[in-house]
Structure 1
Amino acid sequence: MTRCRLCGSEAMASVVDLGATPPCESFLSADQLDRPEPAYPLHLRVCTDCWLAQLPPLITPEETFTQYAYFSSYSTSWVEHARAFVADAVGRLPLGPDAFVVEVASNDGYLLRHLVDRGIRCLGIEPSVNVGAAAREAGVPTLTEFLDPATGTAVREEHGPADLVVANNVYAHIPDVVGFTEGLRALVADDGWVSIEVQHLLTLIEENQYDTIYHEHFQYYTVASAIRALASGGLTLVDVELLPTHGGSVRLWARPAEVAGEPSARVSDVLEREKAAGLRELTGYAEFSARVAKVRRDLLRFLIEAAERGETVVGYGAPGKGNTLLNHCGVRPDLLAYTVDRNPYKHGRFTPGARIPVLPPEQIEADRPDWVLVLPWNLRDELVEQLSFVHEWGGRLVFPIPELSIVEVER
């Protein structure tokens, strides 16, 4: 990678090199196990001019998102997060009966269904055929397209400008940052609002959340780099919220530059935090690679020692981040017998690279393993409660990030 995709600079510095892995959502069917499986370098770099952290665009969004294995509605806490956001936005903006809301990367309608319930006109723009179909079946109007300036303009001409455009967990997923941002500006009314949620690079670095680095995520934002990205499409950041979702995210509130006004004090506060953490100089990234290596050693040590004691370890969840972790650590079925997931789309398939079987959640209670390795660690509170039954037979939960930890719950 020689040039920054946002500012064009050639001043690119290495942050962490995780080797080569397959795309994290390319789960394998049984008949694919004897076929070659492509793997791509996973090397995060940062531009020392605009400080956008990024991966080279080795795969295209079309390869990943046309058929997608992730359905948002299978996370109870994420659906509740969406409901709370809608309730807040309706009052904050406000959104009346004549309002129009567009969500980009609307997945299976997990968020827009709350607007449908309120009788507010809305539209999802979702590139994945299978999850978009699930949204339409649930009564959420959904267009199967990728967002670019042409799509944004076409939607505006057909449906009118949007009072609110929502883009949750998608701003990292597009290699053409400028074109996507221009698409957001084409969608939103000249006096409208754009709300973007994206993982915060500050938390990723501070909390050692390296497993959220995968090929679907082309870039990783600080608020400082997000300001520059938004400006590339004619949007200005006016407010920011720090969120606990995905281990630490930011909600960016932006408006067309012509009506934006001065940013809130919260924007200045977060910019100061990022500066204090050294994220606008290379010192802030210097120790990250060493801390990543320690996660790998600690997890492998735990799994190997459990195997030598004759103990069974299985996984819970099959998220994309889990596949970064498993492949970077070299975990295979001899150390992790299987993992389970609530999403039936993944049942009977195998994780990319590691080839670990994905089974229904009921398998854990049937087998009563000694240990359950929780791969979606960002849902820790939700999953500790869901998996409390594991302790009925003396099983224990293990969380690998930000450092290896064992959850002991009294029976």
Structure 2
Amino acid sequence: MSTLPHSRVIALWHVDSLPFVMGALDRPHNISGLPDALPFVLGVDTRTGLVSQGQNLAVADALGIAYRTADAMPSNFDASGIGRIYADDFLAFIDREIGEFKGRRVLEIGSGTGYLLGQLRDRGGVVLGIEPGAHGQDGAREIGVEIVHDFFPSPEVTGLFDFIVLSNVLEHLEDPVDFLGVIASQLAIGGRIIIGVPDESAYINSGDASTLFHEHWSYFDRRTLTNTVRMAGLNVDVLETASFGGSLYCVITPVEQPVELVEVPEALELAERYARQMQAQSALIREFVEDSTRDGRGLGVYVPSRFVNVAKIAGLRLDAVRFFDDDESAHGKFYPGFVAPIENREELLAQPPVSVLIMSQTFGPRLAQTLAGLLPGVRITCVADVLALNSSH
């Protein structure tokens, strides 16, 4: 255990090689000369109890390149598909807690393609977005909103705002406390900040390594999000769990007097347990994969996005492993450093492997039941059943 230089994060666990994933790719390697894998340090912030990625200059440099050269950090929000469901859920929260936008200045940080910004404009807001990815400019033209092509803070974003909105942004910042302070400096009197972040509590409590991404520096739960906000001299007025998508939504405001932090006495123990569980579960999955592919037998992995981290942590050879997913936007694409293309269900049915491992712990049992009816000769296993062995190890 050590404290990283120039950081308040106590380092608890280090892995030499974790996939540097910015999304599914058209080829098995990252573009722009970016590495396919980088080290990852897991720790805990001693101020807030926040599970965090430790400071790493190589990661920071790679992210800087990725954000400048690719459509990295895309918003979950879009005008159709699952992005529309995410957006409508967040909008329902905003409508419920804010209500009136007519004539009010609104800034969205990390506005993506501008769909949410357009919805706030249609509610009467005077809106401005800021987005470093080039896709923001495409959205600005299509939706008819102004989106600054830059990182926040930016000299092109001036004045004070009644509402500042950011969803799936705060977890990407190395120092979310400092960032919130900068945001607050551009709030008008009586202004409010509206935030959405992934709720990582289920992943941390279950030892699930699939949630770790180099682009995420912070892994919030309700208490550590509250502490982060309070450390920035702000107060959480409203904090809710999303109805869809596993996020935390909150409305925050400046305060004149400091607000006490929420005690998280078990933060270090929780983070240490998370690290131990990830290693134990990776070992169990390695045993399962090695047994399933022995003598050249083929194994299919469903939902590979939840598998690639474990594969790296466990040092698995994947010569006989194929990837399957029902997300058609990922069909035929790759994860960096993995040569198996992502196949769809039709390809699975046409050429089934000897066994299938379903990596989702939420919809895995339902999918297993469906596939069992379609592939009666294939052994189908849910990852939860593999990890159930953990209690006996």
After TM superposition, the score normalised by the length of structure 1 is 0.73
CA distance in 2, matches of 1:128, 1:207: 33
The 5 Å alignment of 1:282-321 reads 282-308=268-294, 312-317=298-303, 319=305
What CA deviation, in whole Å up to 9, does each residue of 1:107-162 have, x standing for no partner? 33454454356564433322222x324533541633322112x45xx4243xxx43
Question: Is 1:241–1:250's contact at 8 Å kept on the other side of the alignment?
Answer: yes
Gaps of 5+ in 2: 389-393
Is 1:90–2:98 an aligned residue pair? Answer: no
Match of 1:367 among 340, 348, 351: 351
Q: Is the 8 A contact 2:44 2:271 kept in 1?
A: no
Give the aligned partner of residue 22 of structure 2: 25
Q: Which residue of 2 aligns with 1:122?
A: 127
> Aligned partners of 1:139 and 1:241: how far apart in 2?
29
Per the alignment, residue 190 of structure 2 pairs with: 191
- 1:337 is paired with a residue whose SS is strand
Deviation at 1:227, TM superposition (A): 3.9
Matches within 5 A, 1:133-152: 133-136=137-140, 138-139=142-143, 141=145, 142-148=147-153, 150-151=154-155
**Partner SS state of residue 12, structure 2:** strand
2: CA distance, partners of 1:123 / 1:359: 40
Alignment of structure 1 residues 391-406 onto 2, 5 Å: 391-394=373-376, 399-400=382-383, 404=387
Q: Can you list the C-alpha shifts for 1:56-92, whole angstroms capped at 9, x where unaligned?
A: 1332342233313656358944531320221231232
Q: What CA distance in whole angstroms lies between the structure 1 residues aligned with 2:110 and 2:354?
A: 39
**Offset of residue 255 of structure 1:** 1.0
CA deviations 1:136-194 (Å, max 9, x no partner) are 3541633322112x45xx4243xxx4333222222111124344223422443321221
The answer as to 2:348 corresponding to 1:355 is no
Task: Give 2:314's aligned residue.
Answer: 329
Aligned twin of 1:408: none
Which amino acid is 1:53 matched to? V
Structure 1's 367 and 383: CA in aligned 2 closer, same or farther, altered over 3 A? farther
**1:314-358, Cα deviation, whole Å (9 max, x unpaired):** 344564x543233223345424223447464x5554312333323
Query: Does the CA-based 8 Å contact 2:29-2:336 persist in structure 1?
Result: no
Q: Distance in 2 between matches of 1:383 and 1:78?
A: 25
What is the distance in 1 between the residues matched to 2:41 and 2:210? 12
Aligned to 1:172, the other structure's residue is in SS state helix
**Change beyond 3 A, Cα 1:71–1:168:** closer
Give the counterpart letter for 2:290 in structure 1: I
Q: Counterpart amino acid of 2:280? A: K
State how far apart, in whole Å, the 2-side matches of 1:164 and 1:36 are.
36
Percent of pairs with identical residues: 22
Name the structure 1 match of 2:162: 163
For residue 251 of structure 2, the aligned residue among 240, 246, 253 is 253
- Give the distance between the partners of 1:382 and 1:82, measured in 2 at CA: 25
Equivalent-residue separation in structure 2 for 1:192 and 1:396 (angstroms): 57
Q: Is the 8 Å Cα contact of residues 20 and 41 (structure 1) preserved in structure 2?
A: yes
Residue aligning to 2:66: 64
How far apart in 2 are the matches of 1:100 and 1:390? 54
Q: Which of 310-319 and 61-70 deviates more? A: 310-319
Contact 2:109 2:166 in 1 (8 A): yes
Alignment of 1:99-248 (within 5 A): 99-109=104-114, 111-115=116-120, 118=123, 120-129=125-134, 131-136=135-140, 138-139=142-143, 141=145, 142-148=147-153, 150-151=154-155, 154-157=156-159, 161-231=160-230, 233-243=232-242, 248=246
- Asked whether the equivalents of residues 199 and 250 of structure 1 are also in contact (C-alpha less than 8 Å), the reply is yes
**1:19 aligned partner, one-letter code:** D
Q: Residue 52 of structure 1: CA displacement?
A: 3.2
How many residues are paired up? 376
Change (3 A) 1:384 1:20: same
Name the CA distance, whole Å, in 2 between partners of 1:14 and 1:191.
Answer: 39
Q: 1:15 aligns with which of 12, 16, 20?
A: 12
Indicate the SS of the match to 2:190: strand
**Whole-Å separation in 2 of the counterparts to 1:73 and 1:64:** 20
Q: Which residue of 2 aligns with 1:52?
A: 50
Please report the RMSD computed on the Cα atoms of aligned residues, expressed in angstroms.
Answer: 4.1
In structure 2, what residue type is equivalent to 1:303? V
Secondary structure of residue in 2 paired with 1:350 = coil
Q: Residue type of the partner of 2:16?
A: G
Q: Contact 2:166–2:195 (CA<8 Å) still a contact in 1?
A: yes
Select between 74-83 and 51-60 the one with higher mean Cα deviation: 74-83
SS at match of 2:157: helix
SS in 1 for 2:102: coil
Compared CA separation, residues 198 and 85, structure 1 to 2 (3 A): closer
- Matches of 1:402 and 1:124, distance apart in 2: 45
Task: Report Cα offsets for 1:272-313 as digits up to 9, x if no partner.
Answer: 7x55xx22xx33334333321222122223323332487643
Task: Please give the secondary structure, in 2, of the residue aligned with 1:46.
Answer: strand
* CA 1:134–1:355: 2 relative to 1, 3 Å: farther
